[in-house]
């Protein structure tokens, strides 16, 4: 069995997660918010066993800094780095936004 690493949500990623859930509660209801939260959480937890499952970030500046991108849903992606035995989750963002500027 692969070695498990730690998954650490940095404050901006925690805030992103909460904002996504609040948005879904307001726009489409509690059951949709619960489903999106569960989907994102399940996918993110897989990083503990498969920390390199996300692709190297396609933005060359972010890739050079070691960032990786993991698709969570059709809309949201997680931006993270593996440093030592810890996956640092930096942001959870709308894939269609200009999010690379948040991390440069």
Domain count, the chain: 1
Per-residue pLDDT, 41:
97
76: DSSP letter: E
Confirm whether 1 is domain-assigned. Answer: no
| Full-model pTM | 0.90
Query: Residue 67 maps to which CATH number?
Result: 3.30.2310.20
* Cα gap 34→29, rounded to integer Å: 9
Which pLDDT value is given to residue 75?
Answer: 93
Strand order in the sheet with 55-56: 6-9, 86-94, 76-83, 68-71, 55-56
**Helix, strand, coil abundance in the chain, percent, nearest 5:** 45, 25, 30
Predicted confidence at residue 92, as pLDDT, reads 97
Mean pLDDT, each 10-residue run in order, the chain (104 residues): 87 97 96 96 96 94 94 95 97 87 70
Q: Specify the pLDDT at position 1.
A: 59
**pLDDT given at position 104:** 66
Residue 66 main-chain phi, psi, to 5 deg: 90, 10
Residue 73 is predicted with a pLDDT of 94
43 in helix, strand or coil? Answer: helix
Q: Is residue 75 situated within a structural domain? A: yes
């Amino acid at each position: 069995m692969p070695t498990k690493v730690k998954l650490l949500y940095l404050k901006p990623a925690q805030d992103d997660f909460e904002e996504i859930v609040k948005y879904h509660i307001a726009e489409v209801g509690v059951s949709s918010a619960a489903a999106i939260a569960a989907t994102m959480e399940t996918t993110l937890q897989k990083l503990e066993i498969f920390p390199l499952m996300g692709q190297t970030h396609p933005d060359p500046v972010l890739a050079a800094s070691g960032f990786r991108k993991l698709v969570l849903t059709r809309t949201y992606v997680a931006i993270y780095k593996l440093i030592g035995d810890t996956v640092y989750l930096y942001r959870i963002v709308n894939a269609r936004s200009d999010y690379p500027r948040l991390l440069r």
